[in-house]
Amino acid sequence: MASTTPASGPDGRRTFFFVHVQKTAGTTLLIRLGNQFPPSANYPDDSDGDKFGIMPQMNVDHLVERWPERCREVEVIAGHFPLCTAELLGGGFTTFTVLREPVERTLSYLRHHRKLTPADQHLSLEEVYEDPLRFDRLVHNHMVKMFAMTTEEMTGWVMTTVEFTPEHLERAKERLVSVDVVGLQEDFEPFCSELEDRFGWDLGEPVVANDTPHEEVSNAFRARIAADSALDVELYEFARDLVASRRRDGAARP
């Protein structure tokens, strides 16, 4: 059920919705957002539940339940929530996001999963990739899913399995255009500077978080990832053009 609570504080301030796509430097950005916002102004914070139990960083149902209470102090929502989640909260958010080249995003996710999962540390990246549960939920056209999924489709939060169609890609492109500030992981500092310039923020000095050592993989594996997530590849190219066009034309949104 959608909330009727407006996405602004009692003083009319903006409330921000960060579409945090996994392994796109989002955690780095969260750390830097801490220079601008106090902990209580972020969703989720420690009051919103255990990240390994309730999982407030991705539990859409919990967010909707908490929102009537938390909306009065939250200034930025920054979990792994698909863009359509904002509709369930009543809309009206100022939005921003970061995308990453899909093959590199996937390889980073695989390395990160293996690092955090002792039972899988003996596996090759290809073996982690081939787990159907992880592939369907967090790899396959993941960026398209984050922007294209509808509230009706979203049966399992960010981990919903989607039967992708060309319409999903077109919807993802359309919705990405609606995002107020779009950045690219490989061009991260200019993105942070744009956030500061647009909103008068101070994000502090650059930091690095959740970095995993580079690991050589075969060209065949890279090509397999690109083919499996071909819609993500196309969305990423669209995002690159969008970012370049906005910078070239100075198309800053109010």
Task: Give me the number of domains the chain comprises.
Answer: 1
**Does residue 49 register a pLDDT over 80?**
yes
| Mean pLDDT, residues 120-129 taken together | 96
Amino acid 10: pLDDT: 44
Amino acid 11: pLDDT: 53
| Mean pLDDT, residues 214-239 taken together | 97
Residue 116 within any structural domain of the chain: yes
Residue 7 within any structural domain of the chain: no
Amino acid 12: pLDDT: 63
Neighbours of 209 (CB within 10 A): 12
Confidence of residue 154 (pLDDT cuts 50, 70, 90): very high
Neighbours of 126 (CB within 10 A): 14
Residue 11 within any structural domain of the chain: no
Residue 124 within any structural domain of the chain: yes
Q: In the chain, pLDDT over 70 holds for what percent of residues? A: 94
Residue 72 within any structural domain of the chain: yes
Q: Which residue segment(s) compose the domain that 145 sits in?
A: 16-249
Amino acid 209: pLDDT: 79
Residue 188 within any structural domain of the chain: yes
Confidence of residue 4 (pLDDT cuts 50, 70, 90): very low
CATH number of the structural domain spanning residue 194: 3.40.50.300
How far apart (Å, rounded) are the C-alpha atoms in residues 181 and 50?
30
How far apart (Å, rounded) are the C-alpha atoms in residues 194 and 224?
34
**Does residue 13 register a pLDDT over 90?**
no
Residue 103 within any structural domain of the chain: yes
How far apart (Å, rounded) are the C-alpha atoms in residues 157 and 149?
10
Q: Buried b vs exposed e over 30-65: b needs ≥16 C-beta within 10 Å?
A: bebbeebbeeebbbbbeebbeeeeebbbbbbebbee
Residue 223 within any structural domain of the chain: yes
